[in-house]
Structure 1
C-alpha cells in the first residue's frame, strides 16, 4: 500500500505524461482540443482515472473519447516508460463535468443578478404605506412660556 504523498506524485506525473503524449505524439485528426484536468490514482497504484475536458461541441467530445480509447494502450506504454515504477497503472479516461458545472453556476449567478436588479427597480418605485417615520416621538417642550401659566 503506497502512501498518499507518493500516490499524489505519481498522479501528477501521469497527468503531465498523458498531456505530453496527446499534444506531441497523437496525430489523429479526430482528437479535439483536449485538456487533462486531473488524475486520480488508487492507493495501490494499480489504476489511474484520467479526467479530461474537450473544447468544442458534442461531436468533438465523442470523437476525442474514441481516440482516447483507441490510443489507451500506447498512452499506458508511454506512461510506464516515463514513470519508471515496477507496475504501470491501467488508465481509464473519464470526461470531466467541470465545464457543465461551471456553466450551471454561471447561469445561477446570472439569474440571481437579474432578480437583484428587479428588486432594486421595485424598491426605487416603492412608497411607504403610512408615514415616512411611523414611530411616535415625545412631545418637544416649548421654549416660550405660556401666558396662562404667568397669570397664575
Structure 2
C-alpha cells in the first residue's frame, strides 16, 4: 500500500512541476524544450529529485538548466501551495539523458541495418 502511495505522490509532483515550468516560470534563459520525465520523492517527503530532458542546442540546454536550478525555490513554494503534503520537498533538478541515449542507440542500429542491407546486395 505504501508503494502505491509513493507512486501517486511522485506522479502528482511530476504533473505540478511540469505545469509550473511550462506556465509559471518567466525566465528568458528558458529557450530549450523542457520535459519532466520522472520525479522521485523520498519516503520521508523531504526531497524530490526532478529528472528533466532538454531538447535544443548545447548553449540553450546549458542556459535552460541554469535557469531551472536557480528557480528551485520558486518551484518548491508553488508545489507547497498546490499539493497538500506533510512537508514540502526540497527540489533537486537532475538532467535525464535517457531519451538522447535511446536516440543514439536507435541511430546505431539503423546504421547496422543499412550496412547489412548494403552487404547483401
Fold shared, TM-score > 0.5 on shorter chain: yes
1:9 maps onto 2:8 in alignment: yes
Shift of 1:44: 2.1
Matches within 5 A, 1:106-121: 106-121=106-121
Please give the alpha-carbon distance, in whole angstroms, between the structure 1 residues aligned to 2:112 and 2:54: 29
- Asked which structure has the greater RCO (Cα within 8 Å, sep 6+), the reply is 2
Shift of 1:18: 0.8
Please give the alpha-carbon distance, in whole angstroms, between the structure 1 residues aligned to 2:117 and 2:23: 49
Contact 1:10 1:83 in 2 (8 A): no
TM-score, length basis structure 1: 0.73
Shift of 1:58: 0.8
The alignment's C-alpha RMSD in Å is: 1.5
Q: Which runs of 5+ in 2 are unaligned?
A: none
Query: Which position in structure 2 is the counterpart of 1:71?
Result: 71
Shift of 1:7: 1.2
Runs of 4+ in 1 over 3 A off after TM superposition: none
Please give the alpha-carbon distance, in whole angstroms, between the structure 2 residues aligned to 1:108 and 1:55: 20
Query: Which position in structure 2 is the counterpart of 1:92?
Result: 92
TM-score, length basis structure 2: 0.90
Q: Deviations over 1:30-76 (max 9, x none)?
A: 11221111111222222111011112011111111111111100100
Q: Deviations over 1:113-143 (max 9, x none)?
A: 123213311xxxxxxxxxxxxxxxxxxxxxx
Query: Which position in structure 2 is the counterpart of 1:60?
Result: 60
Contact 1:50 1:94 in 2 (8 A): yes
Aligned residues: 120
Please give the alpha-carbon distance, in whole angstroms, between the structure 2 residues aligned to 1:43 and 1:116: 49
Contact 1:76 1:91 in 2 (8 A): yes
The structure carrying a bigger helix percent of its residues is 2
Q: Which runs of 5+ in 1 are unaligned?
A: 122-152
